[in-house]
């Protein structure tokens, strides 16, 4: 029977906190940037301009049908061939953002479809600019519709960030591989890494519940 020996990896736990910080930093930054890019792509996808629609559709299809690992390799190993060298963290951030934006765009687009066309027409008739229309009328409704799906995508980004270790980012997955190789206690390090990712994802779930409670406060008040 296998005997767990967590004491063998106690000395590497301080490095785990720094690895977790890097994972969290990478994930949160990628989430914010990909959500912003996804919103732009979703609006372009709904645009009356066929050129804008075409660019958005092409981007979304390419990113959703290309493995994240391939994108990371293209950014980290491919771009230096053109003379552009990036740090492993920056390359991972760009790769994660580009990949996740394709999924974010489709999530936001589904929310845009749910907004009645009459609201667009009414806002334009009252003199709203496109920016005012989306900021004050459209996007608040969109985020109410899609916040659950967005939360799931946020978790997907956190889990996908583990691939950053393949391009030398010293995140939780990297700590897991390095510590396992040094201590020869792979099972224990894998379990600890899994626990860290579980905790990070549960934090996102709690934040999602809090946001949902705030978003739907008016509906609860009417009951």
Number of C-beta neighbours around residue 212 at 10 A = 14
What is the DSSP-derived secondary structure letter of residue 79? G
**Statement: the pTM of the whole predicted model exceeds 0.85:** yes
Joined tokens for residue 220: 């609860």
Q: Phi and psi dihedrals of 67, rounded to 5?
A: -60, 140
Please report how the helices 13-45 and 172-183 are oriented relative to each other, as an axis angle in degrees rounded to 10.
150
Q: How far apart are CA 157 and CA 96, in angstroms?
A: 7
DSSP code, position 122? H
Q: Residue holding tokens 């994660």?
A: 96
Structural domains of the chain sorted by starting position, each given as residue range(s) with its CATH number in brackets: 11-222 (1.10.3720.10)
pLDDT digit string (tens) for the chain, length 223 residues: 778 888 889 899 999 999 999 999 999 999 999 999 999 999 999 888 999 999 999 999 999 999 999 999 999 999 999 999 999 999 999 999 999 999 999 999 998 888 877 777 787 788 888 788 888 788 888 888 888 898 899 999 999 999 999 999 999 999 999 999 998 899 999 999 999 999 999 998 888 888 777 766 665 555 5
Encoding tokens for residue 83? 């003379």
Identify the pLDDT of residue 199.
95
């Amino acid at each position: 029977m296998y005997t767990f020996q967590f004491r063998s990896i106690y000395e590497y736990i301080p490095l785990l906190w720094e690895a977790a910080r890097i994972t969290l930093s990478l994930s949160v930054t990628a989430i914010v940037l990909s959500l912003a890019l996804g919103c732009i792509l979703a609006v372009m996808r709904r645009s009356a301009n066929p050129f804008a629609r075409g660019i958005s559709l092409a981007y979304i299809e390419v990113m959703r049908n290309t493995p994240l690992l391939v994108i990371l390799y293209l950014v980290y190993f491919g771009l230096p061939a053109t003379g552009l060298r990036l740090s492993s963290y920056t390359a991972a951030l760009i790769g994660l953002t580009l990949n996740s934006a394709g999924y974010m765009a489709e999530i936001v687009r589904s929310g845009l479809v749910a907004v009645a066309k009459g609201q667009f027409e009414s806002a334009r008739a009252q003199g709203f600019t496109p920016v005012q229309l989306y900021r004050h009328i459209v996007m608040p409704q969109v985020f109410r519709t899609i916040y659950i799906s967005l939360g799931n995508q946020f978790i997907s980004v956190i889990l996908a960030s583990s691939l950053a270790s393949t391009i030398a980012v010293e995140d939780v997955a990297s700590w897991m591989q390095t510590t396992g190789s040094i201590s020869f206690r792979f099972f224990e390090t894998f379990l600890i890494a899994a626990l860290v990712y579980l905790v990070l994802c549960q934090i996102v779930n709690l934040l999602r519940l809090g946001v949902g409670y705030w978003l739907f406060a008016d509906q609860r008040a009417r009951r």
